[in-house]
Amino acid sequence: MTTNDNSEQTRVILWSVPRATSTAFEMSMNNVSDSIIWHEPYLCAMWWGTDSRFPLPGSDGWAGEQRTDLESRITSTHLDLANGYDAYKTKYSWVKNGLEQDYAGKRLVFCKAISYGATTRFDAIPDGFRHTFLIRHPYKVLPSWKNLVSMTLKIPVEEFRLDNLPESTMPSGYAFKESYDVLQHVKQQYEANPIIIDADDLLNHPKQILQQYCQAVNIPYSDSLLRWTPGPGEVIAKDWRVPIQLVQGSKVGGWYEAAFASSGWQKDRPTPSRSELSSDILACADAIMPYYEEMYKERMIPQ
């Protein structure tokens, strides 16, 4: 890694489970002056990269045809991304090297990563970063994730079970075990007490949580982090390193629709009861609840 002479520069990774407001978190961090944002490089390396674990379109049987259709829809959607990169040309070493570049003049280098993209490639985690984690109650994550799979692959929710998908679509630990595994690796190799934020706390107490977060990782806080300009225009215009395929995929699959439509933090909806959830979601939730609860115990509490 090239030595950066800017002693005030902060480098942070936000490891997240899906559907946990992590893209909104990026849009908040985008308001830090002189920031550069890396968006989902590990997920892209996992799905599209030259050393991909689960190349798309898939040949896994269950979703191969749907994935081929999705890929066709993504590649036919054109966006002018000044700092976009082609995920097909990535690999895990490229991600590590890119994050470790000397971003002279940048106050903040921020990377948002869905944790399971890096689970089997801990060697690709960059040096010189603070590691933070974002979690959310499984009863909120899983229904939202199932709806996203339905919209993306054009399969009615009644026609598939979330606990019976190929690993290329649904990681075996339903994202929570994978995030827990990344947390344990970080504790062993980088820092003993990484910051963990629960999305409910963030949404219900955004100012307190963001003030505490920024102080802990040496990011300058201002109330500008509480609101942002809606729409993907900010992503395209600002200094983001964003994979073309994921932003194009949002156009056809609605992946970031809620985040791009938002303009600030809003109070979260109540957690659903078990009686409101389908049997497959309950099966997944019961499997991952111990990992969520262990991480929740260590979360940052709003003060």
The pLDDT-based confidence of 89 (bands split at 50, 70, 90) is confident
Distances from the Cα of 103 to the Cα of 108, 215, 239, angstroms? 9, 22, 11
Residues 198 and 301: their CA atoms lie apart, in Å, by 9
Which pair of structure tokens corresponds to residue 159? Answer: 């026609």
Q: What is the pLDDT of residue 236?
A: 54
For residue 71, the one-letter residue type is E
Residues 121 and 123: their CA atoms lie apart, in Å, by 5
Within a domain: residue 201? Answer: yes
User: H-type helices in the chain, by residue range?
Assistant: 22-29, 41-47, 64-75, 92-99, 138-153, 176-189, 199-204, 206-217, 233-237, 244-253, 257-261, 279-297
Q: What is the pLDDT of residue 189?
A: 97
CATH number of the domain enclosing 103: 3.40.50
Within a domain: residue 233? Answer: yes
Within a domain: residue 303? Answer: no
For tokens 């959310």, name the residue. 136
Q: What domain range is 57 assigned to? A: 10-297
What is the SS3 assignment for 28? helix
* Nearest in space to 70 (alpha carbons), one of 182, 159, 149: 149
Mean pLDDT of 295-301: 98
Tally of domains within the chain:
1
Is residue 287 packed enough to be buried (19+ CB in 10 Å), middle (13-18) or exposed (0-12)? Answer: middle
Residues 39 and 247: their CA atoms lie apart, in Å, by 10
Q: What is the pLDDT of residue 253?
A: 41
Q: DSSP 3-state helix, strand, coil percentages of the chain (rounded to 5)?
A: 50, 10, 40
Q: What is the pLDDT of residue 290?
A: 98
Within a domain: residue 5? Answer: no
Q: Is the pLDDT of residue 195 over 50?
A: yes
Distances from the Cα of 276 to the Cα of 18, 121, 156, 157, 201, angstroms? 20, 37, 18, 15, 23
By the 8 A CB rule, do 78 and 7 touch?
no
Within a domain: residue 235? Answer: yes
pTM of this structure? 0.88
Within a domain: residue 199? Answer: yes
Taken in order 23, 24, 28, 30, the sign of the CA dihedral is positive
Q: What is the pLDDT of residues 217-264, one digit of tens each?
A: 999 999 999 998 876 655 555 678 888 777 665 554 456 667 677 889
Within a domain: residue 79? Answer: yes
| Phi and psi at residue 171, to the nearest 5° | -60, 150
Q: Is the pLDDT of residue 116 over 60?
A: yes
Residues 180 and 258: their CA atoms lie apart, in Å, by 26
Within a domain: residue 274? Answer: yes
The pLDDT-based confidence of 60 (bands split at 50, 70, 90) is very low
